[in-house]
Amino acid sequence: MTTGPQMAAGWLAVHESDLSHVRRTLHAHPELGRHERATTQLIGSRLEAAGLAPKVLDVGTGLVCDIGTGDGPLVVLRADIDALPLADEKDVLYRSQIPGICHACGHDVHTAAVLGAGLALADHAHRLPGRVRLVFQPAEELMPGGALDVIAEGWLADASAIFALHCDPALEVGRVGIKAGAITAAADTVEVRLTGPGGHTSRPQNTVDLIHALATVATGLPDALSRLVDPRAGLCLVWGHVSAGVARNAIPREGVLQGTLRVLDKDAWHAAPDLVRRVVEGLVTPYGALADVTYVRGVPPVVNDAGAAALLSAAVTAALGPGAAVPTPQSMGGEDFAWYLDHVPGAMARLGVKPPGQERVLDLHQGRFDVDEACLAVAVRVLVTATVAALTAT
């Protein structure tokens, strides 16, 4: 049987430049979560041209596509296809043509890589000892994310393993970060809305000093959580939006805090909503303010299966050579790939995208984020090799 590295190399010898074209087309035409219609159509047309039969998800965007037949194991490769509501600040030919939206998280790379890996595997579908399912998932950047749509439709029901790559701007292209166990954090959203009767700033004793109460929550809640949760859990609450009042001499009737809560430990994640509500109530009671806490579950930590991580690490070495697979720390970022790992063993790895020798790191979720496109071929080699290894190992 042709090996995974051979499959990838043969396909890339003919199609590597086309892979870059796909990525740049996606980058120039980004779409937000649950609106990825043109993206879905582009992916589908590429798969259909290769004789495959992709199926659009019931939610209307995103799709799945099976490669191979028979009763062998099923390995899933997942890509996320949505963009972010950020302006593209790069001066490049493939700069986003959609104002205020860009692929600042590398989902265009993820999509092109899984598409390329799928097409490379499709050239050898009759030789595969099992099946491959490509999942092009919508709405990863939303809460709740599109992974839950894929799972609800049953596309993981018969899967044996699942793999994904995520761009890492801190790693040089040609290197892939691997970690068994938790590799990301849980990420939820928190909104605290305080209300009171309002009044004149000269007489705070006659009303509810709402902004003072809001400030107490803004500083006191993160502080209290750091003392009520095991420090090893890595819980971190950071506010991103604060609003209250319109006049300097009027105490407002309403104020709002919005932020994200991230935590490394799954048990602490499960306990967080009740703890946040309890602490907020304790902080505002002395002031007489009424508190309404909206706590939205986002994603649990991505916890890589040890066996899947070891297989992926071996695949990186087989595809790229010794030294390409490197350790990587657990991050505070959230990823809804975590939901898949509640249903099937798998692993996510970090794909190096930084140009060799570049000192400045253009972090994710910035308008100037970009990648060295040599990472596309790297990703295809790794995904194809890992898929073949998983099919033969199961």
pLDDT digits (tens, 9 = 90+) for 207-262: 999 999 999 999 999 999 999 999 999 999 999 999 999 999 999 999 999 999 99
pLDDT of residue 15: 97
pLDDT, tens only, 7-31: 999 999 999 999 999 999 999 999 9
Q: For residue range 33-45, what is the model confidence (pLDDT) as tens digits?
A: 999 999 999 999 9
Checking if the pLDDT of 63 tops 90, the result is yes
**pLDDT at residue 209, rounded to an integer:** 97
Alpha-carbon distance 235 to 263, whole Å?
4
Q: What is the pLDDT of residue 69?
A: 84
DSSP state of 83: -
All residues at 6 or more sequence positions from 336 whose CB lies less than 8 Å from its CB, including other chains: 80, 140, 144, 145, 146, 147, 148, 298, 299
Answer whether 0.85 is exceeded by the pTM: yes
pLDDT-based confidence at residue 359 (cuts at 50, 70, 90): confident
Question: Which of 40-49, 199-208, 350-359 has the least mean pLDDT?
Answer: 350-359
The pLDDT, as a whole number, for residue 57 is 98
pLDDT at 182: 94
Domains of the chain: 4-183+301-393 (3.40.630.10), 186-299 (3.30.70.360)
Whether the pLDDT of residue 324 is over 90: the answer is yes
pLDDT (average), residues 62-91: 95
Query: What pLDDT is attached to residue 70?
Result: 74
* Token duo for residue 134: 């490509």
d(CA 379, CA 91): 25
Question: What is the phi/psi pair of residue 9, to 5°?
Answer: -65, -40
pLDDT of residue 394: 59
pLDDT at 1 over 90: no
How high is the mean pLDDT of the chain?
A: 96
